[in-house]
Amino acid sequence: MKLIFATRPSALARWQTQWVISALQAAHPGLECEEKVITTQGDKILDKPLPEIGGKGLFTQELESELLSGAVHCAVHSLKDLPVESPAGLTVGCIPARAEVRDALISGRGYVLATLPAGAVVGTSSLRRAAQVLAARPDVSIQSLRGNVDTRLRKALEGQYDAIILAGAGLTRLGLDSHITQWLPLDVMIPAPGQGALAVQCRADEESTLRLLAALEDESTRKAVTAERAFLSGLGGGCSVPVAAYAVTSDQSSVISLTGLVISPDGHKMIKVASDGENAEKLGRELAKQAHTQGAHHILELITVH
């Protein structure tokens, strides 16, 4: 059998797709796989902040169209970039074991978050990261940072920003983690729902593809990210709003521990909730209700996501 994978052209997207292909071929000797590189709108429009041009869904829509048309069998995504609602006919066929969940600060000048001077320029394309940075350091300035990982890293090392914030998983996957100045602790920077996890999307009715992908499924990762994404979905938010969530599962029990955060873009208003449960979807939605009860909808109403 042969599987064709849609992938974006960035080094990270290609790495992630190749990792999935290698893992599948190790699990299914003789399986043929090939890549089809697709440049998305998110890859083309680099001069505007993501929330202004439609959010992270711009990185997934063209790949999903290729899946629905039958031109490809699978698409590999960073799960944090994948909208919580799958288009009709598509499903997440597998979620492999999660990698690093934390965000990382990189500074060509050697700063960490605490030592950034007042007025320092911090680059990020994420409202979630920007808001949490401002909550910890309201005296710094946030500026939009676009481009692939290599481009963002170069801008930081050249001193165009005093520091930038990137997802640690992308840096470790590309072997660039030696440039990290500080791993941001989870009590300072809660990750995006699904951060550090990959999602392999396919057509929901292709049972042969689903059987092949099942070899890479990691049950504990699936449970954790399902709770995180249910929290995001319960808030009515997409993947560009300043919502953070992180869940952990125990090897000894079926309990999931979920922490969720809704924060205003300026970092001034913050609602943090936490709870445990065994049903991931139910836990995420119940925690979202708690956040709404505490006023999360007032924060989210302040944000216009196109």
Residues 204 and 84 in one domain: yes
For β-strands 121-123 and 198-203, DSSP reports them as unpaired
pLDDT, one tens digit per residue, over 14-46 is 999 999 999 999 999 999 999 999 986 655 555
Phi/psi of residue 233, nearest 5 degrees? -65, -40
Summarize pLDDT for 210-253 with one digit per residue, the tens.
Answer: 999 999 999 999 999 999 999 999 998 665 678 999 999 987 78
- Residue 190: inside a domain: no
Indicate which residue of 47, 81, 103, 187 is catalytic: 81
Which residues span the domain enclosing 53? 2-96+197-217
Q: How confident is residue 47, by pLDDT bands cut at 50, 70 and 90? A: low
* Residue 187 bears catalytic tag: no
Rg from Cα positions in the chain? 19
CA–CA gap between residue 255 and residue 252 (Å, rounded): 9
CATH of the domain at 241: 3.30.160.40
Q: Are 82 and 207 part of one and the same domain?
A: yes
**pTM for the structure as a whole:** 0.91
**Across residues 171-182, what is the average pLDDT?**
96
How many domains does the chain divide into?
A: 3
pLDDT for res 306: 35
Residue 294 has pLDDT above 80, yes or no: yes
How much is the pLDDT for 146?
A: 83
Residues 6+ away with beta carbon under 8 Å from 83: 56, 57, 60, 238, 239
